[in-house]
Amino acid sequence: MQNSSMARTRPKRWLSGAGWLLALCVLCGSAAGVRAGQWSYEWVSNNDKIIFGGGINELNLTAGPSGTTSGNQSILGLLLDIEAPFHGTSDSFVTQNYSLTLRIKDLDSNEQSGPLTFGGNLSGSATADSTNFINNFVAPTEIVVPLGDVEYKVTIGPFAKPGPAGGASGTIHAFVEVLGERDPTGPNNPPTHETPEPGTLVLAGLAAACSGAAAVRKRWKTRATQQGA
């Protein structure tokens, strides 16, 4: 009877072990399809300010913060603020050019882009408590740059006008899209042989382990049934 009892408990142990292996298989399978895709960025504003037509009031241009992120993201490129206090009852300027530069670094490959420069022109008017601005981006408004095994597409915009002096900042954002793996047949990318990713190899090994555990469990169950009979 003691042997029969021990035989009956062994399949449960194998079932527990197989369950853990199966869960690990599922987790590894999910992880294998995820790419970190981390990247960092840094902005530089090529203009500090725009002077209004009256020669006194100023629109300050400040580069957005640097940062680290991943995947597709909208990032702040430029802040626009009317210097306080505002002088006079109203002031304006017409078609003033500006530009800003972005550098992106792919953290997986440690490759960094050259300067990606975007620009536009602004026309605007302001009073002590209101503003009216028109922004026109100039080409290029989209730039694609290869870094590591992926390509990054940067699109400038949108623009949001600044509020009155001392009020809300205006902004210019850019949308950065990670396009995916670079074309291996491209002129700057020699063909490469595909090799299984480490996650795929681990998944295959665990799947085999799961199958083996299930087979052993079946044998234990059969033996326990025979001994119990």
Mean pLDDT confidence for 34-43: 79
* Cα distances (angstroms) measured from residue 172 to each of 105, 168, 192, 207: 21, 13, 40, 50
pLDDT digits (tens, 9 = 90+) for 39-92: 999 999 999 999 999 999 999 999 999 999 999 999 999 999 999 999 999 999
DSSP-assigned states of every residue in 108-155: TTTEE---EEEEEEEEEEEESS-EEEEEEEES-SEEEEEETTEEEEEE
Q: Which two tokens stand for residue 51?
A: 């002077």
Q: What pLDDT does 5 receive?
A: 46
Mean pLDDT confidence for 95-102: 98
Q: What pLDDT does 29 receive?
A: 43
d(CA 23, CA 111): 36
Residue 56: which residues within 8 A CB-CB, separation 6 or more?
A: 87, 88, 91
Residue 7 pLDDT grade (very low, low, confident, very high; cuts 50, 70, 90): very low
Mean pLDDT confidence for 143-170: 97
Q: What pLDDT does 180 receive?
A: 78
Q: What pLDDT does 222 receive?
A: 63
d(CA 134, CA 122): 6
